[in-house]
Amino acid sequence: MPTLERIVIQDFRNIGLQELHFSPKINCISGGNGEGKTNLLDAIWYLSMTKSATGSSDRFNFRHGCDSFSIMGSYKMPSGTNSKFSISVSSSGEKRLKKDDKPYDKLSSHIGIL
């Protein structure tokens, strides 16, 4: 199973710009109401599944006043190699998904990798 080592989130829901590094073992997420804990988890899900875990339309995922968002994650793959996955979504509805800076031909090719 791939292990998330680092995530960079920009303009996703209430997260302006955030970079986080994760332990390969246990990670704790804490904070007050409305500080972005659930949005962090949803960003990880979004990067894995190319959609929100809440089932909401992409138009609800843009930070207020922004016309795009992006999520990038660095993973240690089961083979021991490192891979970088990124997705960016524009208000026009265009989704760009990349693995190691190479675009996917189809979003469905990504499902199940993470």
Q: What are phi and psi of 58, to 5 degrees?
A: -55, -30
Interval 5-18: pLDDT, tens: 999 999 999 999 99
**Amino acid 56: pLDDT:** 84
Locate the domains of the chain by residue range.
3-103
More confident residue, 83 or 24: 83
**Amino acid 92: pLDDT:** 94
pTM of the model: 0.95
* Residue 7 token pair: 């995530």
Are 4 and 73 in contact, with CB atoms under 8 Å apart?
Answer: yes
The Cα–Cα gap between 102 and 83 comes to 11
**Amino acid 109: pLDDT:** 92
Tell me what the mean pLDDT of segment 81-105 comes to: 96
Q: How far is CA 67 from the centre of its chain?
A: 17
Residue with tokens 């996955």: 85
Under CATH, which architecture does the 3-103 domain have? 3-Layer(aba) Sandwich (3.40)
More confident residue, 82 or 107: 82
Are 32 and 61 in contact, with CB atoms under 8 Å apart?
Answer: no
